[in-house]
Chain A
Amino acid sequence: MVETVTRKRIEILVDKPLAGVPIRAAADVGIAGYSLVPVQSGSGRHGNWRNDRISGAENKVLFLTIASEDKADALVDALAPKLDSHSLLLTVSDVQVVRGERF
């Protein structure tokens, strides 16, 4: 049986032009690895949205990373003041990972 450890999975839905904000914040707290996942469309508090292929201003991506609890807390603290102004949707959940020393 492979041993697993608990780590934090952080997902941030962010407008593509603003994707640099969580990337830089993550780097600042020592989280180097991440993935950006394109998302097509959805619905939220301000109604429906979909990828705007003309300007790209409203396109959204999902910033995805896995980190230790300390680093995850530091990232959440760093981004908390920008959640409203940058329209970020941030969730944190527990995940089991193998090779826990990598996160």
Chain B
Amino acid sequence: MDIVISTLTSPVILFFILGMLAAFARSDLAIPEAIAKGLSLYLMAAIGLKGGVAVSESGFTPELALAAAAGLALSFVIPYFAYVLLTGFGKLDRVNAGAVSAHYGSVSVVTFVTASEIFTGQSMGPAGYMVAVLALMETPAIISGLMLARCGEKRDDNGNGGGLMHEVLLNASVVLLMGSFFIGLIAGPTGFEPIAPLFLVPFTGVLCFFLLDMGLVAARRLVEAKAMTFRLTTLGILFPIVNGTIGTVLGTMIGLDVGSAAALGVLAASASYIAVPAAMRMALPEADPGLYLSMSLGVTFPFNIIFGIPLFAALAQAIG
């Protein structure tokens, strides 16, 4: 219970809630686009660097390989589970269900960064290699989602095959996260020391500011979501609870520490709203972007930030 209260009263989460409330109240509060973009680049570089440095200290352990395998498996499999509920309970057609399911198999970098910060504050910071697991989980779900959407249909990528692979494998978040991870891995603690003041000290403050913006964006998306139904909103909350529980339990079963198991739960619970939407727009132009963006960004993202992170931390502590 302590972690639930401490999470909900941390400045990081409170800034996110402030952003949401401001958007719901139709305030004109806004973070300039260039600043928001800069903040997100800083956060991804920082989290990648810290992960790389941590792995350079710990070395490549069996836990790293197991966590990577578990992450890949979750990313591949979750869309299939989601697809069944989206077509059944959610009443979506095959193409829209495939597109939405890909988002739930993939991950949200911001949710992971926020969870890492919260867990570290609770002395249960996830292992550095979880950054690599995060990057690995970005893409398999896209393949699963496309297979589901195109099930039994002649493949037509609209001539976008090259662009799709480029978007999937070389999108900004993957390049910066993995690039920073390897820089941290090569530099190690000694090489990281001179740049640590930039990437460690302001990190939490920058995250607060960034989450203020994300609160505004998520709430405005929710307010403007015309395609959302009660059933889809329900699934947008059910998916993270079920997926996150599976991820946390799986992480514990393969022997991850409490923080890493909870982080795997957060990754499984999160839904992409950066890399996958652009990829789906290219690969499945007939799918409604208003649906998948509203579910992942408007419903699941805020649920995870406010409730999911403490929930999976508490679960990992209880069973770990």
Contact = CB atoms under 8 A, between A and B. Distances in A.
A53 B273 contact: no
Report, as a range, how many residues of chain B touch the other chain: 20 to 34
Interface stretch (B43-51, B246-254, B283-291): B283-291
B314 interface: no
Contacts of B286: 85-86
B226 A47 contact: yes
A57 B226 contact: no
A53 B32 CA distance: 11
Contacts, number: 64
A53 B36 contact: yes
Q: Is the interface of B mostly helix, strand, loop or mixed?
A: helix
Nearest to A14: B285
A82 B275 CA distance: 24
A20 interface: yes
A56 B33 contact: no
A56 B272 CA distance: 13
A17 B281 contact: yes
Most chain A CB inside 10 Å of its own CB: which residue of B160, B167, B281, B293: B281
B33 A53 contact: yes
Interface of B: 33, 36-37, 158-160, 163, 167, 217, 224, 226, 273-278, 280-282, 285-286, 289-290, 293, 297
Given A18-B160, A57-B281, A57-B293, 18 more contacts: A15-B281, A15-B289, A17-B278, A18-B285, A20-B163, A21-B160, A24-B159, A46-B226, A53-B217, A54-B273, A55-B273, A55-B274, A55-B276, A55-B297, A57-B280, A85-B286, A86-B285, A86-B286
